[in-house]
A and B are shown apart, each in its own frame.
Chain A
Amino acid sequence: MTKEITINPVTRIEGHGKITIYLAEDGSVSDAKFHVTQLRGFEKFAEGRPFHEMPSLMARICGICPVSHLIASAKACDALLGVRIPPVAAALRRVMNLAQLAQSHALSFFYLSAPDLLLGMDSDPAQRNLFGMLSANPQLARDGVTLRQNGQQIIELLGGKRIHPGWVVPGGVAEPLSAEKRDQILAMLPNAIAITQQAIHWFKEQLPRFAEEISAFANFPTLHMGMVDRRGNLETYDGYLRIVDAEGNVVEDRMTPEDYLDLIEEAAEPHSFLKSPYYKPRGYVDGMLRVGPLSRLLAANQISTPLANAALQDFRQIPERQSSFYFHLARLIEILYAWEEIQRVLNLPDILSEHVRAHAEPNAFEGVGISEAPRGTLMHHYKIDKHGLITYVNLIIATGHNNLAMNAGVKQVAQRFVRGDRLTEGMLNRVEAVIRTFDPCLSCSTHAVGQMPLHVQLLAPNGEVLDEIAR
């Protein structure tokens, strides 16, 4: 008799999710599915709006990563205007995108995943939360507070507010940077860099405790996609799309935003509102991709900043670096990169230039904007009519790119840790934790409101619900 386990809701991720685990007659796991159960429909209700409203509208997709949507949307609008935005505007957008990446990664690592890493996958769930972490390692908790605060403060200093800033506009940014704000940001960075280095050191010390998780947390070969600069180095704001295979061979390189439809096709599956993009030339599902910090590090040749690059070279020595467990380490390395790169950009001689916006009427009926959001490659594609009104929107969100890999990862973890005759909370936590490594943002990827509880169901072959956990 097949049995089924459902985890619903999945906790400590952004949005709402459900996991169903199907058991075979012998009690082993035959399949597992990650379901995303909401739909918001931003692609449809933006139709008819003036294109210049898009950055502000799209930022409302998410309260965690509004900046990512602002950036990708503004870039799509730049393409509609047909302008090359002032270099300082691009530099300032880059700083805001990096601050967003750092604060989002800090949320994922220190608030959502550190309780598992610090207290263990089998620890008392009543303690395995932020309160438990405060008691067990207050310094780690303080570091998380500081890093997230730093990222938020940089966004606020640039954009006027932490959430949904309206500073990024089609053609550039609305206001130049003042010397006072630049100096405030620069003053935060040495401490932020030191804290991040400590966190990397702390995480590496924990690794021996998680050998089993490393081996089973979505640890399989896939393609990886990320942006790189013209030298092939890690890029997050404005570069080329690169896809590498599991061996690191470059499959696609120097692809521009306009090429995305040649690379990516989207599939819809009956068990989820979250679409499943894949690498078009290899078909569904062989074209399974991963994106995000791990994939960006696997796709890039190097990192342009010294401390993060040294951390990357260490990371490259890890044999099982394909394991999604290493998303955590990749996140920390990218936080380090963010602080270093912000430091470099803010020390550019013309960074206080007042020429930060290009003005134009629409010069194209179609525009694509791509940037690297914390969770991976974010694609905004718009079409407008002769009045500048939106007629078509296609959004491919980082979490969507990872959907096929998350499903395969849930199945791999369930097959390793779940047995129908002896369900434990720790087993189910691992099933959740593999999802958490991807740091999915379901608010974004279903275009869903709010935080993400998880519902896990265990189903028998006849569909009978044998067990379920909801948090």
Chain B
Amino acid sequence: MRLVIGIGNTLRGDDGIGVAIAQQLAAQHSAPNLHVITCHQLTPELIGLISQAEQVIFIDASVQQPLGSVQAVPLRVEAAKELSAHHTTPSALLLAAKVLYGAQPCSTLIAVGAQHFSYGEQFSAPVAAALPRAAKLALTLLNMPTARSGDLH
């Protein structure tokens, strides 16, 4: 199974970009072993699902990079710091999946630079423009064709 996890709050502006990208992937691309989920934040029960995947792509907004930029960051379990019941990091979940189930899926974080988190379902223009690029990057990482969707460029 290849697993895509879109993370974010769709009611807080740019924070919802991870969810939007994941939803676009799910709507426009299907593959027998592709599983796409979305969540407000990462929680420990995802460990079970992650442990069953051969590849995991997390998609999230990031305040640590320029607005509208898209980066693919390989994830390492060594970076894990804290595993909380409410909010945790991709690396922490990957470490838990390794310790509990011996699973070591190939894992990447696609991060979209974001800055506008006020109430609303609209993305800022740079983040909206980043959506197709981030979706295309996800498809490339998943080794899926990118030309099927007309709006990906």
Chain A residues packing against B (C-beta within 8 Å)? 12, 14, 63, 103, 107, 111-112, 129-131, 134-135, 138, 141-142, 144-146, 148-149, 152, 162-163, 450-451
Give A107's nearest chain B residue, CB to CB. B85
Bound complex: CA of A128 vs CA of B48, how far in Å? 22
Given A134-B100, A138-B99, CB of A148 within 8 Å of CB of B83 = no
Q: Does residue B47 face the partner (Cβ distance < 8 Å to A)? A: yes
Please provide the chain B residues from 22 to 67 with a CB less than 8 Å away from any CB of chain A in the complex. Answer: 39-40, 44-45, 47-49
Tell whether, in the assembled complex, residue A130 and residue B85 are in contact, meaning their CB atoms are under 8 Å apart. Answer: yes
**A163 with B100: in contact, given A134-B83, A146-B48, A451-B87 (CB under 8 Å)?**
no
B44 touches A144 (CB 8 A): yes
**Most interface-central of A112, A146, A148, A152 (chain B CB within 10 A):** A148
Q: Is the CB of A111 within 8 A of B100?
A: no
Q: Decide: B48 and A111 in contact? CB cutoff 8 A.
A: no
What are 30 A-B contacts defined by CB distance under 8 Å?
Answer: A14-B86, A107-B85, A111-B44, A111-B85, A112-B85, A129-B82, A129-B83, A130-B44, A130-B83, A130-B85, A130-B96, A134-B83, A135-B99, A138-B99, A138-B100, A141-B96, A141-B100, A142-B100, A145-B44, A145-B45, A145-B47, A146-B48, A148-B44, A149-B45, A149-B48, A152-B45, A450-B86, A451-B84, A451-B85, A451-B87
Complex: how many Å from CA A149 to CA B96?
15
Distance in Å: Cβ of A430 to nearest Cβ of chain B? 20
Contacts of B92 in A (CB 8 A): 131
The interface size of chain B toward A, counting residues with CB under 8 Å, comes to: 20
**Interface of B with A (CB < 8 Å)?**
39-40, 44-45, 47-49, 80, 82-87, 92, 95-96, 99-101
Q: When A12-B85, A129-B82, A149-B45 are in contact, do A63 and B100 touch as well, CB less than 8 Å?
A: no
In the assembled complex, the CB of A159 is this many whole angstroms from the nearest CB of chain B, namely 15
Complex alpha-carbon distance, A299 and B84, angstroms: 34
Q: Which residue of B lies closest to A164 (CB)?
A: B40
Contacts of B101 in A (CB 8 A): 142
- B83 in contact with A131 (CB, 8 Å): yes
Give the CA-CA distance A129 to B88 in the complex, in Å.
12
A145 and B93 CA atoms in complex are apart in Å by 11
Cα distance A107–B84 when bound, in Å? 11
For A138, what are the chain B residues with a Cβ–Cβ distance below 8 Å? 99-100
Closest to B41 in A: A63
Query: Is A145 a contact partner of B83 (Cβ separation < 8 A)?
Result: no
Q: What are the residues of chain A within 8 A of B48 when measuring CB–CB?
A: 145-146, 149
- The complex places the Cα of A12 from the Cα of B86 at a distance, in Å, of 9
Cβ contact of A63, chosen from B40, B80, B82, cutoff 8 A = B40
Min CB–CB distance B117 → chain A (angstroms): 13
Contact indicator B85/A145 (Cβ below 8 Å): no
What is the minimal beta-carbon distance from A453 to any residue of chain B, in angstroms? 10
CB-CB nearest in chain A for B49: A149
20 new A-B contacts, CB < 8 A, other than A12-B85, A138-B100, are A103-B45, A111-B85, A129-B82, A129-B84, A130-B44, A130-B83, A130-B85, A130-B96, A131-B95, A134-B96, A134-B100, A138-B99, A145-B45, A145-B48, A146-B48, A148-B44, A149-B45, A149-B48, A162-B39, A451-B85
Contact flag A145-B100 (CB < 8 Å), given A112-B85, A152-B45, A451-B86: yes
Which chain A positions have C-beta within 8 A of B82?
129, 131
Residues of B within 8 Å of A63, CB to CB, are: 40
- Least Cβ–Cβ distance between B77 and chain A, in angstroms: 11
Q: In the complex, what's the smallest C-beta–C-beta distance from B3 to chain A, in angstroms?
A: 14
Q: How far is the CA of A145 from the CA of B44 in the complex (A)?
A: 7
- A446–B80 Cα distance when bound, in Å, is 33
Give the chain A neighbours of B83 by CB distance below 8 A. Answer: 129-131, 134
Q: List the B side residues contacting A152 at CB < 8 Å.
A: 45
B98 CB, min distance to chain A CBs, angstroms: 10
**Residues on A with beta carbons closer than 8 Å to the beta carbon of B86:** 14, 450-451
A131 to B80, CA, bound (A): 10
Q: Which residues does chain B contribute within 8 Å of A163, judged by CB atoms?
A: 39-40
Query: How far is B84's CA from A111's CA once the two chains are assembled, in angstroms?
Result: 8
Q: How far is the CB of A299 from chain B (nearest CB, A)?
A: 28
Chain B residues within 8 Å of A112, by CB: 85
- Residues in A with CB closer than 8 Å to B85 are 12, 107, 111-112, 130, 451
Most chain B beta-carbon neighbours within 10 Å: one of A14, A131, A144, A163: A131
CA distance A138 to B47 in the complex (A): 13
A149: chain B residues at CB < 8 Å are 45, 48-49
The smallest C-beta distance from B108 to any residue of chain A, in angstroms, reads 23
Q: Give bound CA distance, A434 to B92, whole Å.
A: 28
Residues on B with beta carbons closer than 8 Å to the beta carbon of A103 = 45
Q: How far is the CB of B73 from chain A (nearest CB, A)?
A: 22
Chain A residues lying within 8 Å of B84, measured Cβ to Cβ, are: 129-130, 451
**C-alpha spacing A162/B40, complex, angstroms:** 11
CB pair A134–B99 under 8 Å, yes or no, is yes
Which of B45, B82, B87 has the most C-beta atoms of chain A within 10 angstroms of its own C-beta? B45
Shortest 4 CB-CB distances between A and B: which pairs? Answer: A111-B85, A451-B86, A130-B83, A148-B45
